[in-house]
Amino acid sequence: MISAPKGVLRLAALRLLSESSLSGTGLAQQIERVSSGDWRPGPGSIYLVLGELRKKGLITEMPKRGGNLRRYVISGKGKDELARLSADANRSVGRQLKLLAVYSALSGREDLGRKLVAVAEEIRT
């Protein structure tokens, strides 16, 4: 089981809501699916992020089709924010991979360190 900073949940919500409309429960299920069950954000985190994204105009609530289920979809402004967050995430992943490469080399796994550097360089291009 992993935990992730709030910014990662924001990125995940925007990415998944750009693919289809989802309820809060559906969003949590999709995050669990794409992380192979390693990340299961709780309902409090999910609904807090959905509320923030909605307030900022990054997602919109779809009209209800009977029942009380609220479904959300990304807005045009949300797509712009998704592009910005994705670029930031790529830079962050590259930095983290380089740090892991150093850590791997220091632990005697220079071969793994070289592979991580290669992946980090691939992300930059």
pLDDT tens digits, residue range 31-83?
A: 999 999 999 999 999 999 999 999 999 999 998 877 788 999 999 999 999 99
pLDDT tens digits, residue range 75-98?
A: 999 999 999 999 999 988 899 999
In this prediction, residue 123 carries a pLDDT of 83
Find the domain containing 86 and state its range: 76-125
Same domain, 70 and 81: no
**Count of the separate structural domains present in the chain:** 2
Classify strands 59-61 and 72-74 as parallel, antiparallel or unpaired: antiparallel
The mean predicted confidence, pLDDT, of the chain is 92
Last residue of a domain, one of 42, 57, 74: 74
Q: Quick one: the chain helix, strand, coil %, rounded to 5? A: 65, 5, 25
